[in-house]
Structure 1
């Protein structure tokens, strides 16, 4: 496996700076050879291209860690059931992918690289198919929107009631589709609550620029609308065996999985101190602060530190949430959970490394 991983990483460097072109070529070849596959994908393909490349890079990077590699690909296979992917589609995808990489790698592409990607893709496809075949759940769940509330100009929270129970853990995320407004466009969001007896799920969403799905969820969704939810994924979950105190760091609507994890802790925690750092640009973006304050008032083991990075009138902490975390501590003996934008997560991970927090005690998901 070591030589295979080396060949994959070497060959990927040949096309890494042309990722968008590789993705565009890949989809063009696939749709030209099998036009029927186009109906499985959304009209707008910009995010879909990025997700393909993210899946490739993740698979390549985890190849030398068999346990993570296996878990990631089986989860990806389960998730792809929502696209109605069938086994024969995997061959089409593999051929188009290798052809696209060969086209942009130039003269440095070799027969060895070709064979390495064929071998690797064979393993990837087999594990994804195994994950899909082993899943006894439906490809996705239908759920009715039963509540929707605008919290700020571009943030909304909403609650859905699935037609069938969904087995998930606090901290995980699900893909969401709104067929009425943006069919075949899926985006990942984390439930903001731990599993409930009535099976309802809360979501927190920020409309990102001209985001197709996020804008629909914030500005158009209303009670009575139906959404689809795909299989839960992610590993940012609590380890009940740990006795260490916990630090949650949330940026913006990255609060959703953090709130779910806190809610899970309220059901059994008696011995662990829990610190929540909640950061946003301004006080309006601290959209759920009132609810967090209620939780902190109810549970003596829970402390809350809100912060704003662009609101000098805010009476609490000022600055990026990663900077605020560094003002407290020490943190070297704590479990950390980090959730927010990619920029926020990276900044927080750098800060934690500087504070000498062991990486094995830090959990985060990189779907966004």
Structure 2
């Protein structure tokens, strides 16, 4: 299973028995949490070597799981490390831990992960941690990690099994349209072979036939359609096997696979009637889908959209958004260009947001490069926007970011 940390489902789990359960206390005591975090500080400088060792012993002891993984393991090792660190961060925030691990469990269905795979992963993961922690590894630390992984496994298994009752793990989809949208960018429209229900603003992972078991998340640029098609705006990433295949190799008639829709950056998360959308690059895709959803609901929100870029040439999709603003009185579009002079839209995104704010009476949706999202979030919170009203997909989503 292309998995993240987990352990035998028979382990003691005093909290979080199911993905949907209400958790009122942390699964570990303060002492156990401190032990885990102390051990992480020991192994973190050796984390790259530790993940190599983990997969080496996993494939040696349990060769039956090797076909579930891609041939190239660099992105997979990075994903494991990020998920491990995220779980450690959340170990004393039970609601967030359950939400994150539930996401992992549902997402891992597309790999063919089964309940029986969890003990193997947990066994090898604890062995890797023990090896690289060295003398710092004690019986108490081992017990704390085992307990924590029991919680993770319970939530992942429960979320996956509940998800399997209502939808497939993978959808086949045929490419029915493909067109260039700029240098290194392609618009790709898919027709799923079975109904694919998603909410505007969510993302889906795609696997191509040319790189089996390599999945890359992309956000549909549309709200749901009667014909069920999904349109993606995909930028070819240097060295990215999936993105380059979709931009430069894929053709109409090719069949790809979709994982389940994920993400909580949806319109129903909004409380306020005024909305602020901020997008950079092809991060405009989920924002465009959300705008279509606002229009579908009759334009009951007032929406300000800011498009950020370093240069005018990188100000992706601005013409389409301006045309949309001409059709819908509730939409206002502005640009922010940081590295060159463009009349009317000069300035870094945080500065422009501050200039046109405050935005504390808005729900905010951010999408684009992680650095852009982080700087926009910092600027908004500094000027009074409540953090719980700022919506974006997590930087540490358990999916490879460079394929």
What is the CA-CA distance between 1:237 and the residue it aligns to?
1.2
Contact 2:174 2:192 survives alignment (8 Å): yes
Q: Distance in 2 between matches of 1:95 and 1:208?
A: 35
CA distance in 2, matches of 1:18, 1:339: 32
In 1, the alpha carbon distance for the partners of 2:272 and 2:300 equals 8
Q: TM-score, normalised by structure 1?
A: 0.94
Classify the secondary structure of the residue corresponding to 1:151.
strand
Q: Report the CA distance between 1:119 and its aligned residue.
A: 1.0
Task: Check conservation: 2:278, 2:366, Cα contact below 8 A.
Answer: yes
> Given the superposition, is the C-alpha separation of residues 311 and 182 from structure 1 closer, same or farther in structure 2, using an over 3 Å criterion?
farther
Higher deviation after alignment, 302-311 or 121-130? 302-311
Q: Distance in 2 between matches of 1:225 and 1:309?
A: 39
Q: Separation in 2 of the partners of 1:295 and 1:5?
A: 50
Give 1:228-247 correspondences, 5 Å limit.
228-239=257-268, 242-247=271-276
Structure 1 residue 94, shift from structure 2 partner: 0.7
Which stretches of structure 1, 4 residues or longer, exceed 6 Å deviation after superposition? none
- The alignment partner of 2:182 has SS state of coil
Aligned to 1:162: 192
Q: Partner of 1:274 in structure 2?
A: 303
Check the 8 A contact 1:152/1:284 in 2, yes or no.
no
Cα separation, partners in 2 of 1:287 and 1:147, compared to 1, 3 Å:
farther
CA contact (8 A) 1:169 1:195 kept: yes
Aligned partner of 1:138 among 161, 168, 180? 168
User: What does the per-residue CA deviation read over 1:15-57, in whole Å, with 9 as the maximum and x for residues that have no partner?
Assistant: 2233222211111111111223221111111111111122222
Structure 1 spans left out of the alignment, 5+ residues: none
In 2, are the aligned partners of 1:308 and 1:316 still within 8 Å (CA)? Answer: no
Per the alignment, do residues 194 and 43 of structure 1 end up closer, same or farther by CA in structure 2, a change over 3 Å counting? Answer: same
The 2-side partners of 1:56 and 1:213 are apart by: 25
Instruction: After TM superposition, list the pairs within 5 Å mapping 1:180-191 onto structure 2.
Output: 181-191=210-220
Q: Could you tell me which of 46, 66, 79 is aligned with 1:18? A: 46
**Residue of structure 2 aligned with 1:363, choices 391, 395, 399:** 391
1:330 aligns with 2:384: no
Distance in 2 (alpha carbons) for counterparts of 1:236 and 1:248: 11
Equivalent residues of 2:176, 2:191 under 8 A apart = yes
Q: Select the residue among 91, 99, 103 that pairs with 1:63.
A: 91
Task: Specify the SS of the correspondent of 1:182.
Answer: coil
Which residue number in structure 2 is paired with residue 110 of structure 1?
138
Q: Is the 8 Å Cα contact of residues 308 and 319 (structure 1) preserved in structure 2?
A: yes
RMSD (Å), alpha carbons: 1.7
Query: Which residue, out of 218, 224, 232, partners 1:195?
Result: 224
Q: Which moved more, 1:136-145 or 1:59-68?
A: 59-68
SS of the equivalent of 2:98 reads helix
Distance 1:168 1:63 in 2: 30
Q: After superposition, what is the alpha-carbon deviation per residue over 1:288-329, rounded to whole angstroms, capped at 9, x for unaligned?
A: 2222112111111101112333343x3341233233222211
Post-superposition Cα deviations, 1:117-160, rounded to whole Å, max 9, x if no partner, equal 11111111111111111123111000011111221222222110
**1:49 equivalent in structure 2:** 77
1:217 and 1:287 mapped to 2: Cα distance? Answer: 19
The question of whether the paired residues in 2 share the 8 Å contact of 1:152 and 1:285 is answered with: no
**Gap regions ≥5 residues in structure 2:** 1-27
Aligned pair partner of 1:29 in 57, 70, 78: 57
- Aligned match for 1:354, one of 358, 361, 382: 382
For 1:93 and 1:241, locate their aligned partners in 2 and report how far apart those are by CA, in whole Å: 38
Say whether the 8 Å CA contact 2:106–2:156 is kept in structure 1: yes
Tell me the distance in 2 between the aligned counterparts of 1:126 and 1:191: 31
**Residue aligning to 2:24:** none
- CA offset at residue 98 of structure 1? 1.2
Partner of 2:328: 299
> What is the distance in 2 between the residues matched to 1:143 and 1:85?
22
The structural deviation recorded for 1:244 is 3.4
Say whether the 8 Å CA contact 1:177–1:187 is kept in structure 2. yes
CA distance in 1, matches of 2:384, 2:37: 29
Structure 1 contact 251–321 (Cα < 8 Å) conserved: no
Q: Which residue matches 2:101?
A: 73
